[in-house]
Amino acid sequence: MTKPYRGREELPAKTSDKTKGGIYPMKKVLVTAVAGLMAAAPAMADLVFPSLSYRTGPYAAGGIPFADGYADYFTLLNERDGGIGGVPTKLLECETGYNTEKGVECYESTKGEGALVYQPLSTGITYQLIPKTTADGIPMHTMGYGRTSAANGKVFSHTFNYPGTYWNGASGAINYLLEENGGDLKGHKIALVYHNSAYGKEPIRTLEELQKKHGFELSLLPVDHPGQEQKSQWLQIRREKPDTVLMWGWGVMNQVAVQEAANIRFPMENFIGIWWSGAEHDVLSAGDKANGYKALTFHNVGRDFPVFDDIQKYVVDTGKAAGAGDQIGNVLYNRGMYAAMLAAEAAKIAQEIHGTKDITAAMMRDGMEALEITEEKMTALGMPNFGPAFSVSCENHGGTGLVGVTQWDASSKTWSLISDFKPTDMEVIGKLIAEDSGSYASENNIEERCN
């Protein structure tokens, strides 16, 4: 260990003999200058990224791969690149159990550690943290969950939900159905099976607006938490014979829904889940009957990307992986890794904007607002065609809202991306975002920014 510099008294005694010879004054100047510099420049601290994870409780099966992906990417940056801009990253993991109270406790206990950006990984925690993070000046990234209208950066100064929101998801599903049905959905019957919670109800308003525009029939089938018993809903689906079933589920609700759909012999290719209903564990328990089930996505699937080779080499093979290393390429692992990459890229931009490697949460927010993800950048990062190209601005915290579709192959037990990342109906969504964020702003006396 290097002995710390203690000041003048540690200088070699013999130098004092040469005070008159001209050498010492020069040395003295240099030493003083170095000491002064050391005193003036603060110690380079780690870049702190809290991870509000849930490795226990009813949703652990989904929480673990996400948390592993998030952690492993930061470990990769440390091991391969020496951190971000040469500054090591530090992951602060805090277990929430997907419980809102615990999530808020995690936030309170970690925010003083120099946290740059929070990933609350829960819509409930997100709603609680929006006012807190805004007051504390710490940005929050709610990627593909949380409050959709937070995409309006004029109102939600510290909340970001790029590259896509639930409303993009709803519109993406309808656009996909339009494509599949020759651009006409008149008379098409769509049933929405949703978790009876704020999360599950998110797409309803958008779907109702799109229903007016495209003329499809929409029926709503709520499922109470946790969703272990869904017989009534699937009997209703069997009676009413919708053409398409959309699902906004999470946890055990997903597995039971896929099983029940298989039981009533609903055509799996007409069953589309949101991205939180489209992981491997959602379909594996239904076996071969789940073949053909589809899910929306805002990132690619599988492990055929150079970045995973690096993770294997620098993180897993060196025994530094957050998990056993067997989750690489799984949908939720990829999502966690993608979230970490977006945070790291925003941190890089923040370092560039402010000309310092040692960034603060305020600088990180600036970096997130200037984030631009291009295919060239993704390719350079070892993630070609891994996610959509998008940019963020002060006004737009939601990105471009491009949505893709994946499909499950039960024989190979893999998901495949079966469409490009395509635009969603921003005309409808933009109006809804303006409406919802506007009422939030007036309720909370928030003055619009970015003017």
Partner 1 sequence: MPEQLVFAMEVFLNGLMAGVLYALVALGFVLIYKASGIFNFAQGVMALFAAMTLVGIQNGQVPFSHLINAMFGAHVTHFGWNIPSVVSLLLTVGVMILLAWCIQRFVFRHLVGQEPIILFMATIGLAYFLEGFADLMWGSEIKTLDFCLAGSACLPQGINVAIDEATYNLFGYGFFIDNLDITATVVAILLVIALVAFSQYTKHGRAMRAVADDHQAALSVGISLNFIWVLVWSVAGFVALVAGIMWGAKSGVQFSLSLIALKALPVLMLGGFTSIPGAIVGGLIIGVGEKLFEFWVGPLVGGATENWFAYVLALVFLVFRPQGLFGEKIIERV
Stretch that binds partner 1, among 163-171, 210-218, 262-270, 439-447 (CB under 8 A): 262-270
Stretch that binds partner 1, among 24-32, 108-116, 230-238, 425-433 (CB under 8 A): 230-238
* Of positions 285, 318, 374, 444, contacts partner 1 by CB under 8 A: 285
Q: Judge whether 266 and 259 are in contact, CB under 8 Å.
A: no
* Of positions 288, 324, 443, 447, contacts partner 1 by CB under 8 A: 324
* Of positions 18, 80, 213, 231, contacts partner 1 by CB under 8 A: 231
Q: Judge whether 381 and 338 are in contact, CB under 8 Å.
A: no
Q: How many residues bind partner 1 (CB under 8 A)?
A: 39
Residues numbered 237 to 256 that lie near partner 1 (CB under 8 A) are 238-239, 251-252, 255-256
State yes or no: residue 57 binds partner 1 (CB under 8 A).
Answer: yes
Nearer to partner 1, 410 or 432 (CB): 410
* Of positions 189, 289, 357, 422, contacts partner 1 by CB under 8 A: 289
Residues numbered 144 to 173 that lie near partner 1 (CB under 8 A) are none
Question: Quick one: CA dihedral 146, 149, 150, 155, positive or negative?
Answer: negative
Question: Quick one: CA dihedral 425, 428, 434, 435, positive or negative?
Answer: negative
> 6 by DSSP, 3-state: which?
coil
State yes or no: residue 235 binds partner 1 (CB under 8 A).
Answer: yes
| Burial (CB count <10 Å: 0-12, 13-18, 19+), residue 335 | buried
Q: Judge whether 214 and 262 are in contact, CB under 8 Å.
A: no
Q: Judge whether 259 and 235 are in contact, CB under 8 Å.
A: no
Residues numbered 61 to 120 that lie near partner 1 (CB under 8 A) are 61, 64
> 428 by DSSP, 3-state: which?
helix
CA pair distance 71, 336, nearest whole angstrom = 8
Nearer to partner 1, 55 or 294 (CB): 55
Q: Judge whether 298 and 163 are in contact, CB under 8 Å.
A: yes
State yes or no: residue 319 binds partner 1 (CB under 8 A).
Answer: yes
* Of positions 281, 303, 348, 354, contacts partner 1 by CB under 8 A: 281
18: DSSP letter:
G
Stretch that binds partner 1, among 141-149, 167-175, 217-225, 417-425 (CB under 8 A): 217-225
Query: Strand 390-391 to strand 404-409: parallel, antiparallel, or no bridges (unpaired)?
Result: unpaired
Question: Can you read off the two tokens belonging to residue 408?
Answer: 């499950």
Q: Please report, as ranges, the residues that interact with partner 1 according to CB under 8 A.
A: 55-61, 64, 196, 220-224, 226, 228-229, 231-233, 235, 238-239, 251-252, 255-256, 259, 262-265, 281, 284-285, 287, 289, 319, 324
